């Protein structure tokens, strides 16, 4: 269709044009019909040269395009699930209604401040939300739908009311209480926790273990894959850092595995369990037995800290847990051994 203009109020004109079944519209300021005609010509030229920035698409619509046209083919299912949660929980309710060319840096800053002051989210969580907004807008620029990323350099508020979560681990006495409670737990949950504690493996790595990964003759466990959730259930993938690893497992753990092996009938996976189910079982177990609450991932840190407290070097710990040595240092060099605490008490009593 030919370009069309109409005066919707004094000195304000509505320009309209259609190209390839796509309708474009724009409001402009013009003192008379002749001036509006000139702007209509430029408006049509911009559209036909693919330089026009549509003002009809909202941030929510751009977010869906980001998920469908980019994330689906380039990001992991876990990442997509997390992105959808961020968008639905924090981002789109606040800014999703805005047309993308009407979105301002102040809107993003107001959202960041709201997430801090009203929702009491940590600065890290807020940073991740703003980072996702920025990624979506950058993709909009790449697709020639935007010219400016208004989420760039937005100040992340420091939530002083939400201090950084300290790493929670079990000390020796709490470990004894854990195993006392485990003695009364049912299978396969009991052995799942044994594997998590004695190997320090990630939740998905524990649930992805196959019987062929257990070398009973040499007491060696191979960690080669990871069970992760997807939009359609779970899949087995490579480990988080894409590196398989193996290590000698303690006899007490191998004996537990032998026991359930004798009771299974040809299953490939040792544990047939959904990741979130294991987490729910763990949370209920902790509550039912009045144990100090730590997450399953904290149980992994307990393993690393326990090894560090017994004098095991960081490189060895890193290899067992699948960390880079520098990462392991950040986690476990702070660990204070029970023996070191006892030594300090001895010094206190010298004089």
Q: What is the pLDDT, as a whole number, of residue 175?
A: 93
Say yes or no: 233 and 311 in one domain. Answer: yes
Residue at a domain's end among 126, 142, 158:
142
Say yes or no: 132 and 208 in one domain. Answer: no
Identify the CA nearest to 89 among candidates 129, 146, 52, 38: 129
Among the residues of 208-289, which ranges form H helices? Answer: 251-261, 275-288
Which H or E element spans position 65?
helix 59-65
Residue at a domain's end among 127, 142, 157:
142
In a domain, 167, yes or no: no
Q: What is the pTM of this model?
A: 0.65
Say yes or no: 131 and 193 in one domain. Answer: no
Mean pLDDT of the chain: 86
Predicted confidence (pLDDT) per residue in 237-250, tens digit = 888 777 888 888 89
Supply the CATH number for residue 105's domain. 1.10.150
Say yes or no: 29 and 134 in one domain. Answer: no
Q: What is the pLDDT, as a whole number, of residue 351?
A: 43
For the cut 50, the answer to whether the pLDDT of residue 81 exceeds it is yes
Q: What is the pLDDT, as a whole number, of residue 264?
A: 81
Q: How many domains does the chain have?
A: 3
Packing angle of the helix pair 172-182, 189-199 (nearest 10 deg): 160
Residue given tokens 């940590």 in the structure block: 122
> Domain of 122?
59-142
Supply the CATH number for residue 321's domain. 1.10.443.10
């Amino acid at each position: 269709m030919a370009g069309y203009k109409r005066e919707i109020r004094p000195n304000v004109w509505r320009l309209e044009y259609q190209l390839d079944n796509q309708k474009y519209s724009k409001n402009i300021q013009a003192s008379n019909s002749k001036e509006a005609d000139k702007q209509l010509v430029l408006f049509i030229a911009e559209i036909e040269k693919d330089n026009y920035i549509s003002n009809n698409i909202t941030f929510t619509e751009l977010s869906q395009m980001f998920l469908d046209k980019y994330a689906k083919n380039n990001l992991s299912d876990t990442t997509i699930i997390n992105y959808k949660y961020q968008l639905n929980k924090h981002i789109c309710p606040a800014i999703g209604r805005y047309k993308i060319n009407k979105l301002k840096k102040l809107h993003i800053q107001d959202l960041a401040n709201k997430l801090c002051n009203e929702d009491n989210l940590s600065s890290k969580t807020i940073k991740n939300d703003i980072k996702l907004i920025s990624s979506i807008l950058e993709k909009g620029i790449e697709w020639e739908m935007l010219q400016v990323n208004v989420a760039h350099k937005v100040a992340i508020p420091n939530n002083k009311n939400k201090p950084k979560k300290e790493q929670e681990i079990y000390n020796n006495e709490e470990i004894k209480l854990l195993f006392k409670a485990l003695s009364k737990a049912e299978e396969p949950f009991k052995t799942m926790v044994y594997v998590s504690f004695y190997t320090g493996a990630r939740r998905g790595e524990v649930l992805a273990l196959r019987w062929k990964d257990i070398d009973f003759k040499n007491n060696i466990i191979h960690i080669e894959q990871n069970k992760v959730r997807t939009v359609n259930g779970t899949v087995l993938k490579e480990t988080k850092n894409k590196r398989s690893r193996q290590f000698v497992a303690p006899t007490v753990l191998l004996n537990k595995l032998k026991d359930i092996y004798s009771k299974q009938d040809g299953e490939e996976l040792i544990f047939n369990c959904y990741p979130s189910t294991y987490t729910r079982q763990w949370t209920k177990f902790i509550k039912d037995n009045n144990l100090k609450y730590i997450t399953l991932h904290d149980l992994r840190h307990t393993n690393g800290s326990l090894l560090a407290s017994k004098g095991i070097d960081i490189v060895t710990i890193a290899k067992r847990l699948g960390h880079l040595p520098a990462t392991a240092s950040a986690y476990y060099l702070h660990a204070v051994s029970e023996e070191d605490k006892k030594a300090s008490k001895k010094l206190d009593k010298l004089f």
